[in-house]
C-alpha cells in the first residue's frame, strides 16, 4: 500500500507532496482508497461532503468503530501526515481478519477530504462540513489562489456542492473514531515507546492580514515618499515571534501574497496568513489581539478557528490500558479527530517520529514503529469491536 501511494503527487524537484484537495493528485489518492476497499470486499461510499468510507459490516446497525485519517497534503508535505493513518487502518483491518476476529460492531475506514486546507485556506473541510461546524454556503464560496471556487472544484471532481453540510444520519452511525497519525514533534522520540495516545489538541486558527500601500518605482521613488506595506508586514512578523515567545505560544507567518509582485516595484498589497496556537484559548485570543495591534494599519480577518479539544477521557484511558500504559501526550497540530470530537467520542494514536519534522519532505517514521502502530491499532480495534 505504501509503495503504491509514494509516487502520487510527489514533486520531482523537492520530493515533497502536493496532494491538494480536488486536484488530479488528490483524485489518484481517492482512486487508490476505492481500490483498497474493493480489494477487501468492503462496501465503499462517498458521503455528501466528499469523505470516503469503506465498511465492514452493516453501517445502518449503528455504534460503528471508525478508523482513518486523510490523504491530502500541505504544499511540499511529507509522505506520512495523513496517509500513515489510512494505510495503517487498512492494515489493522487485515490484521484483525488474520487473527480471526469477528467484529460485534460495524467497522469503517475513512479518508476525510481536504484536511490540510492547503488549497482553499480552511483546514478539515470534510469533517467540519460533516459535523456542521463549517457553514456550507461559506465553504462553497471559498476560493483557491487562482480564484477557483471550492464549489466548482468539487463539482469538477464529481461531487455535488449543493449537497454539502451537516450529516446527522451519518454521524449517528458512529460509536467511536480513532485516528492514527505520525507524531509531529519529538515527545515519543525521547521515550522507549513507538506509540502514544493523544490527550488534547491546542486551540488554533488562521488569520489573514491585508497590509495596503502604494505601488511605485523601486528605482526612482525616494524612501521618504514611499507607502511600502512590506515594512509593516516585516515588523509584524518580528513582533509576532516575540509576542508568541513571551506568551509561551506559537505564531507563524508561512504564506504571503504580494501585489504586484515585481522585484522593481514597491508593493501595493501584502496579504499574509498567520497560524497561531496556544495551550488555552485565553492565551491564544490575547496573543492574536496583540499581533493584530502590532500590525499597523492592517485589516485582520479570522479565516478559521478550532477551540481546544480534550479527547474523550474514558476512550483515551481504554486505549492506553489496552496498549499497556503508553505515554499520553497533547499536540499543537489540528486533526479531523479533533473536529469529530464535538459529535462522537474520539481518540488518537501517535506513531513516533525520530526527528519530529512534519509538513516537510523530511518527515518520516521508522518501519518498525509504523508496524508497531498497526499492531496497536489492531489491538485497540479488537478490544472495541
Termini Cα distance of the chain: 24
Residue 345 interacts with Mn ion (CB under 5 A): yes or no: no
Alpha carbons 31 and 6: distance in angstroms, whole number: 14
Contacts of 347 (CB under 8 A, 6+ apart): 176, 177, 178, 179, 197, 198, 311, 312, 315, 316, 319, 337
Residue nearest to ligand HGY (CB): 334
Helix (H, G, I), strand (E, B) or coil at 253: strand
123 contact choice in ligand HGY, Mn ion, none (CB below 5 to 8 Å, kind-dependent): ligand HGY
Alpha carbons 113 and 105: distance in angstroms, whole number: 25
Q: Among residues 54 and 333, whose Cβ is nearest to ligand HGY?
A: 333
Q: Among residues 116 and 290, whose Cβ is nearest to ligand HGY?
A: 116
Number of chain residues interacting with ligand HGY (CB under 6 A): 5
Task: Select the span of 97-105, 115-123, 256-264, 349-357 touching ligand HGY (CB under 6 A).
Answer: 115-123
Residue 203 interacts with ligand HGY (CB under 6 A): yes or no: no
User: Site mask, ligand HGY, residues 332-371, x = CB under 6 A?
Assistant: -xx-------------------------------------
Alpha helix positions (H), the chain: 2-5, 24-39, 83-98, 125-131, 136-140, 150-156, 168-173, 229-247, 281-294, 313-322, 336-340, 367-384
User: Site mask, ligand HGY, residues 281-320, x = CB under 6 A?
Assistant: ----------------------------------------
Question: Which of 26, 47, 72, 81 is in the footprint of Mn ion by CB under 5 A?
Answer: 81
Task: Select the span of 55-63, 82-90, 262-270, 369-377 touching Mn ion (CB under 5 A).
Answer: 82-90
Q: Strand pairing of 299-306 and 204-212?
A: antiparallel
82 contact choice in Mn ion, ligand HGY, none (CB below 5 to 8 Å, kind-dependent): Mn ion
72 contact choice in Mn ion, ligand HGY, none (CB below 5 to 8 Å, kind-dependent): none
Alpha carbons 372 and 385: distance in angstroms, whole number: 20
In angstroms, give the least distance from the CB of 358 to Mn ion: 7
C-beta of residue 226 within 8 angstroms of C-beta of residue 266: yes
Dihedrals φ, ψ of 289, to 5°?
Answer: -60, -45
- Helix 367-384 / helix 83-98 crossing angle, nearest 10 deg: 60
In angstroms, give the least distance from the CB of 183 to Mn ion: 11
Contacts of 230 (CB under 8 A, 6+ apart): 211, 213, 258, 266, 267, 270
Angle at 255 between CA 21 and CA 274, to 5 degrees: 105
In angstroms, give the least distance from the CB of 81 to ligand HGY: 6
Residue 123 interacts with ligand HGY (CB under 6 A): yes or no: yes
Alpha carbons 216 and 254: distance in angstroms, whole number: 26
Question: Which of 26, 72, 116, 363 is in the footprint of ligand HGY by CB under 6 A?
Answer: 116
Number of chain residues interacting with Mn ion (CB under 5 A): 2
In angstroms, give the least distance from the CB of 224 to ligand HGY: 41
Question: Which of 78, 82, 83, 121 is in the footprint of Mn ion by CB under 5 A?
Answer: 82
Q: Among residues 175 and 332, whose Cβ is nearest to ligand HGY?
A: 332
In angstroms, give the least distance from the CB of 84 to Mn ion: 9
User: Site mask, ligand HGY, residues 208-237, x = CB under 6 A?
Assistant: ------------------------------
Alpha carbons 311 and 330: distance in angstroms, whole number: 10
Contact positions vs ligand HGY (CB under 6 A): 115-116, 123, 333-334
Contact positions vs Mn ion (CB under 5 A): 81-82
Amino acid at each position: 500500500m505504501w509503495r503504491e501511494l509514494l509516487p502520487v503527487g510527489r514533486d520531482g524537484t523537492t520530493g515533497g507532496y502536493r496532494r491538494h484537495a480536488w486536484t488530479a493528485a488528490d483524485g489518484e489518492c481517492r482512486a487508490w482508497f476505492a481500490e483498497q476497499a474493493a480489494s477487501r470486499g468492503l462496501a465503499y461510499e462517498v458521503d455528501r461532503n466528499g469523505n470516503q468510507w469503506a465498511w465492514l459490516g452493516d453501517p445502518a446497525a449503528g455504534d460503528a468503530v471508525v478508523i482513518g485519517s486523510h490523504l491530502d497534503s500541505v504544499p511540499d508535505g511529507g509522505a506520512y501526515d495523513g496517509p500513515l493513518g489510512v494505510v495503517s487502518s487498512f492494515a489493522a483491518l487485515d490484521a484483525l481478519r488474520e487473527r480471526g476476529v469477528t467484529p460485534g460492531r460495524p467497522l469503517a475506514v475513512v479518508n476525510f477530504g481536504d484536511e490540510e486546507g492547503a488549497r482553499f485556506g480552511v483546514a478539515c473541510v470534510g469533517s467540519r462540513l460533516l459535523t456542521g461546524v463549517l457553514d456550507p454556503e461559506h465553504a462553497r464560496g471559498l476560493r483557491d489562489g487562482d480564484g477557483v471556487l471550492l464549489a466548482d472544484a468539487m463539482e469538477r471532481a464529481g461531487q455535488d456542492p449543493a449537497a454539502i453540510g451537516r450529516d446527522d444520519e451519518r454521524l449517528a452511525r458512529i460509536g467511536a473514531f480513532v485516528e492514527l497519525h505520525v507524531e509531529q514533534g519529538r515527545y515519543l522520540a525521547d521515550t522507549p515507546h513507538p506509540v502514544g495516545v493523544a490527550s488534547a489538541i491546542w486551540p488554533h486558527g488562521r488569520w489573514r492580514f491585508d497590509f495596503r500601500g502604494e505601488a511605485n518605482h523601486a528605482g526612482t521613488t525616494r524612501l521618504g515618499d514611499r507607502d511600502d506595506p512590506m515594512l509593516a508586514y516585516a515588523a509584524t512578523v518580528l513582533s509576532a515571534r516575540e509576542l508568541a515567545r513571551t506568551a509561551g505560544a506559537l505564531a507563524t507567518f508561512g504564506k504571503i501574497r504580494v501585489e504586484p509582485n515585481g522585484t522593481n516595484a514597491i508593493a501595493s498589497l501584502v496579504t499574509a496568513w498567520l497560524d497561531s496556537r496556544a495551550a488555552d484559548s485565553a492565551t491564544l485570543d490575547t496573543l492574536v489581539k496583540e499581533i493584530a495591534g502590532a500590525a499597523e494599519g492592517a485589516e485582520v480577518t479570522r479565516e478559521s478557528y478550532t477551540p481546544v479539544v480534550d479527547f474523550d477521557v474514558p476512550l483515551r484511558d481504554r486505549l492506553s490500558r489496552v496498549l499497556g500504559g503508553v505515554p499520553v501526550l497533547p499536540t499543537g497540530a489540528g486533526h479531523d479527530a479533533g473536529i469529530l470530537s464535538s459529535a462522537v467520542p474520539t481518540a488518537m494514536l501517535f506513531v513516533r517520529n525520530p526527528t519530529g519534522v512534519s509538513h516537510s519532505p523530511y518527515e518520516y517514521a521508522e518501519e518498525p514503529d509504523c508496524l508497531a502502530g498497526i499492531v496497536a491499532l489492531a489491538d485497540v480495534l479488537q478490544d472495541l469491536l
